[in-house]
Amino acid sequence: MPILPRRRDGLRFPTNFRSASSTRKVGRRPGKRPLRLRVAGWLSRNRRLAAALLLSAAAAITVQQITPAPLSTVTALAAARDLPAGTAVTEADLARVQVPPGMVADGFLREGAAAAGKQLAAPLRKGQLLTDAQLLGPGLLAGTPPGSAAVPLRMADASSIQLVSPGQLVNVVLTSANGFDQQGPSEVLASAVPVLWTSNKGAQSGQWLGTTETDGLIVVAANAEQSSRLAGASTEGKLFFVLVGPP
């Protein structure tokens, strides 16, 4: 039996006496400290782990902010290798690539069947996107003034075709002759017309003009007035071209 403490008057405290401090200790449940203290204690015991978690979260937020959102893409056709002018395009010459929609304008080809068997009017670099303006056909007149026409001309000197390439500007000159092979005055039928196609550069016959006789032929873009003067001009004399620069 425990000995009870004595009071100053010599009497003992009652058996149910408890000090205030003992009452507080009995009333508090062990292990139930405030949340703030428990979190602080955990951080104190796991400083390295907490630092690693914070750094990982910061890195994830940074990567998310600097990484651009994925862009939508569309399919386009590009040259699978360097292709010279005059190439009859095959499926093996083309590659399907994914590009942003803003890079694909009117006239860009997306299906190999649209280009297969057609002839290139200009060379293509590997990876360059293919458009109808780079193939022999109506697309060659893209961007020309309304009413323009593609006019085929046969030059008197077939070997001179090697000096001209699509895109160059030429003056078309007619030199008439009489029945005794005497040269008449020369006349400029069209000035600074762009060349669309030539029978040089490995061009294959029958790809566009529907004829097997393409030696000495060039095709130029001409307006309505020029077209009327150029049509059938080769029957009136000999045609030549003169290379000129932009006006």
pLDDT in tens, 75-93: 888 999 998 877 888 888 9
Q: What is the pLDDT of residues 151-189, one digit of tens each?
A: 889 898 888 888 888 888 999 999 876 555 556 678 899
Residue type, 167: G
Sign of CA dihedral 109, 110, 114, 120: positive
Please tell me whether residue 203 adopts helix, strand or coil conformation. Answer: coil
Rounded to two decimals, the pTM is 0.54
Q: Do the bridges between strand 217-222 and strand 183-198 make them parallel or antiparallel, or are there none, so unpaired?
A: antiparallel
Domain ranges in the chain? 74-135, 141-244
- 221: nearest Cα among 115, 163, 150, 162: 150
On whether the CB atoms of residues 233 and 199 are closer than 8 A, the answer is no
Compute the radius of gyration of the chain from its Cα atoms. Answer: 45
Domain 74-135, classified CATH 3.90.1640.30, yes or no:
no
